[in-house]
Amino acid sequence: MLEEKPQSIAEELFYNTPAEVEAGLNAIYVPVRGSGVFGALYECQMEIYSEYLYGRGSHAPLNDYKGLDNTNITRVTGMWGAFYEAIRNANIIIKRAPEGTALTEDQISKYVGEARFLRALWYFYLVRDWAGVPIRNENNMDSLNVPRSSKEAVYNLIVEDLLFAEANLTDVPRLVGTPSVWAAKTVLTDVYMNLHQYDKARDKALEVINSGKFSLVNVTVADDFDKLFGPEIITSSEEIFYLKYSRSPSGQGFSYPHYTHYPGAGYYPPGGYYTFYSDAEENPFVKNWDKNDLRYEFNWYVQTFGLGPTTILNKKFSDRVTTTAGGNDFPMYRYADVLLFYAESVAQAGTAPTADAMEKLNMVHRRAYGKNPMVADPTVDFSLADYASKQPFIDLVVKERGYENCAEAKRWHELKRLGIAKQAILAAKGVTVEDKHLLWPIPTTEYNYNKAIDPATDQNPGY
């Protein structure tokens, strides 16, 4: 007979030492790092919704913007569950760490700051994809029946958590891949932009810029962007908050490249599903992208598979030597994001862009052409005189951010924040998107068990 050893430890007996609490903190990342969320499928969903990509196979229904078929609703339901599992793990730390018997007050503050940062981040994804959701915190995490909160209430929790994280996280992260105070300020910037509080977003972004902690990675040829996105990179001067992956040990790799590449193309030896693609001539976003921009060369390669000779696939995340899974990290926030956040927020909060806002935009633009980001270059710089009005400048920043963040699962959220998602999809793909399809439906797995949610009255409109 086999004697089974204990498979878990009761939380009330754990979380007393730094090692125990840090093990609990690490567990907050686990549910969302898998291939069902940020390891692959979340990026696929978000990128296919963008105006520049089309889905194939089981992801093809996303092209229609008509809702989710059985396969994709299952995927989205899995994402909902993973976010809440990660939130549950954060809630345990928030509740138990202050009771730790072998922890200093400074350690408790730092650990709870990290947990609240992560809880806020996962709720930030939930609220953008589903709007108001049930708020499960450290006080009700054991309750099954939790009513759906308003979008405003979820954002209030997010801001409270991030302000606490900002006040308690350290200048240097606990580990590479965990948040610093600068990560908290950066996510706050993004949250304030989504709340259309652009004055607060501008000021918070400027704090990160003025810290001098970050700089754009220099690029002279297209392949130099691998210094940012390549599988061998541990960290860089541009990294603010990345989810970290590794080829080994087993199960720690980044699966996203498996979904982006064509088998035998050389960018991912284990194979590839080529889940999404674009067309260099038919898609206006790609067609109008300046081919002298090194980001274009770095992002795209021609690959025919029956859809015509101008079919292109995205190669931003490539691992040419792995035999298991990619070693690339997922860049949730990097310094280029902050510069572009700042540039847009200056214009949004005021009546016109400033020279400083244009300079921050030009820093990113210069790098894209292989120039020194810190040195003005009239051959590639945008002129403030040409974009002196508010909306033309904002449109320019939005276009630049589309090129900069291509394949990073950021575009769809941005189009929705700006209220131009339907307009962009109609112009690029000729598809009319109904309002209901800007959000995902509350999963049946939630309201089947959570009796505080009525599927007839608490579901998102149109479902």
CATH number for the domain harbouring residue 53: 1.25.40.890
Nearest Cα neighbor of 181 from 202, 201, 166, 161 is: 166
Could you give the percent of the chain with pLDDT greater than 70?
97
Specify the long-range contacts of residues 31-36, CB closer than 8 Å, at least 24 apart: 31/81, 31/82, 31/83, 31/85, 31/86, 31/89, 32/82, 32/83, 32/86, 32/122, 32/243, 33/243, 33/245, 34/82, 35/255, 36/75, 36/78, 36/79, 36/82
Nearest Cα neighbor of 170 from 98, 222, 109 is: 109
Q: What is the pLDDT at residue 241?
A: 98
Q: What is the pLDDT at residue 307?
A: 95
Same domain, 52 and 150: yes
Amino acid letter, residue 439: L
- Average pLDDT of span 345-365: 98
Residue 11 clears pLDDT 90, i.e. is over it? no
Taking CA 367 as the corner, what is the angle to CA 361 and CA 373, rounded to the nearest 5 degrees? 70
- Our count of domains for the chain comes to 2
Q: What band does 10 get if pLDDT is binned at 50, 70 and 90?
A: low
CA 262 – CA 166 distance, rounded (Å): 42
- Average pLDDT of span 79-105: 97
Q: CA–CA distance from 25 to each of 85, 143, 167, 174 (Å)?
A: 13, 22, 18, 11
Same domain, 15 and 124: yes
What is the average pLDDT value for the chain, to the nearest integer?
96
Residue 157 lies in a domain: yes
Nearest Cα neighbor of 462 from 44, 65, 28 is: 65
276-279 and 311-314 as β-strands: parallel, antiparallel, unpaired? Answer: antiparallel
Same domain, 146 and 250: no
Residue 5 clears pLDDT 70, i.e. is over it? no
Residue 355 clears pLDDT 90, i.e. is over it? yes
pTM for the structure as a whole: 0.96
Q: What is the pLDDT at residue 14?
A: 85
Nearest Cα neighbor of 445 from 75, 62, 132 is: 75
54-55 and 300-302 as β-strands: parallel, antiparallel, unpaired? Answer: unpaired
Same domain, 140 and 288: no
Residue 370 lies in a domain: no
Residue 293 lies in a domain: yes
Of 263, 284, 314, the position where a domain reaches its end is 314
Q: What is the pLDDT at residue 1?
A: 43
240: helix, strand or coil: strand
Residue 206 lies in a domain: no
pLDDT tens digit string along 280-312? Answer: 999 999 999 999 999 999 999 999 999 999 999
Of 261, 296, 314, the position where a domain reaches its end is 314
Contact 28, 89 (CB under 8 A): yes
Question: What φ, ψ does residue 136 adopt, rounded to 5°?
Answer: -110, 115
DSSP 159-177: HHHHHHHHHHS-SS-SSTT
pLDDT tens digit string along 390-432? Answer: 999 999 999 999 999 999 999 999 999 999 999 999 999 999 9
Could you give the percent of the chain with pLDDT greater than 90?
96
pLDDT tens digit string along 312-325? Answer: 999 999 999 999 89
Residue 189 lies in a domain: no
Residue 194 lies in a domain: no
Question: What φ, ψ does residue 50 adopt, rounded to 5°?
Answer: -65, 165
Same domain, 17 and 155: yes
Same domain, 252 and 163: no
CA 352 – CA 110 distance, rounded (Å): 40
Of 314, 339, 363, the position where a domain reaches its end is 314
Domain that holds residue 278: 245-314
CA 357 – CA 347 distance, rounded (Å): 8
Same domain, 137 and 255: no
Same domain, 150 and 293: no
CA 233 – CA 230 distance, rounded (Å): 6
Same domain, 157 and 253: no
